[in-house]
Amino acid sequence: MPSLLSAMLLRLFNWFLFAAELARLVTRLAYTLAECAFRLLVPKQKKNVANSVVVVTGAARGLGREIARIFAELGAKVVLLDIDQARNNETAKSIRSDGGKGFSFTCDVTDEDQVKKVAQKIGRLIGEVDILVNNAGIAQSMPILNMNPNQIRRTMEVNTLSHFWTIQEFLPKMLERRKGHIVAVSSMAGLIGAANYTEYCASKFAIMGLMLSLERELAQSDEGRNIRLSTVCPAILSKGFECTGLPFLSTWFPSIFPSMDVQVAAQEVVTRILREEDVIILPASFSLMHRLSLLLPHKVGRLVQEYLDYMVFFIRSGLSKSGTPGVGLQCPRSPPLVSEGTAPQSRNWSCVVSAGSSLQAPEP
């Protein structure tokens, strides 16, 4: 009898603990939802980055270059990392000519030894890093059965493994100082698959997993909770992305699904980094579509993706699919392989930066 009573009391105690934890969870959920709703109406104030040290990988051109320029305009000390020494030096020189603080370091971010050496040099010559922007990335388009193992390996090294090497070098000092911000440039292709871009999508999905796991890992310590994380997922990109290996895109209804050129995208990215947003989807209209697709059954979500495929189309040689003038630029037929922030171009390309597109561009 006493053992039966003890078992009943233990069971009641367990139910009490469960109810208490559930009530705590519901309270925290309600508070967090209210906070998110409030931030939709009143955005968080942008932090001041004057004299902060900002490292940008893949900074020689494209999105990385523009992000670096904007941070420099805000008074940050911008450190440019890229394998393309000439273009990287030119970007740093341009920043300095505009009155900013730009420092160029040639570095292959896929080589952990090079990353380690350049991190030590940055700390010694410029200062401890406050914001790390992992932007370097490459892409190629072709069916999975046609992919070269070396190209697959290179894509994963540039797009994914480089994040590990830079984080391992710069995060320890951030934890020691109890401040820092790590930004990873992923893609909508890291949220939704895209035909003929399996290696690119896989590398970008991996970034999402890395950042989500890192968030949970940092939450386990007081020092880690002071580190901010942001993951950037651009969707429709138009002019200013020449020689990236991706087609230039437009939409049937640009007022609803606007395409973004590199300057506009970079400005939006930096603004939302300064507000410490954790996931940055561009353009904002795609954020709602993505969340909707997650709530729906897989087959229904796939229909949403197909709808987005229809909404997004190519611009080639400055002309849209309907023959009207567009905002796109013509890429050279055979750009070299490969520097950070650039990519090889395939003759059969498909829309990677729409949501799972399968439209095929005509052969040149």
User: From the CA atom positions of the chain, what is the Rg in Å?
Assistant: 23
Other C-beta atoms within 10 Å of 125: how many?
10
* Burial degree of 47 (CB within 10 A; 0-12, 13-18, 19+): middle
Under 8 Å between Cβ of 161 and 115: no
Q: Which candidate in 31, 200, 307, 310 is catalytic?
A: 200
CA distance 313 to 351: 8
CA distance 216 to 209: 11
Q: Which residues contact 184 (CB under 8 A, 6 or more apart)?
A: 134, 163, 207, 210, 211, 229, 230, 231, 232
Using left for φ > 0, alpha for ψ between -120 and 50, and beta otherwise, residue 311 falls in: alpha
- Amino acid at residue number 30: A
Other C-beta atoms within 10 Å of 59: how many?
34
In 3D space, the residue among 114, 329, 131, 334 whose CA is nearest the CA of residue 237 turns out to be 329
Residue 155 main-chain phi, psi, to 5 deg: -60, -45
Give the DSSP H or E segment for 193: none
Q: What is the DSSP string of 55-101?
A: EEESTTSHHHHHHHHHHHHTT-EEEEEES-HHHHHHHHHHHHHTT-E
Residue 280 main-chain phi, psi, to 5 deg: -120, 105
DSSP three-state, residue 117: helix
200 noted as active-site residue: yes
Hey, what are 219's tokens? Answer: 């939450």
Which residues does the annotation mark as catalytic?
A: 200
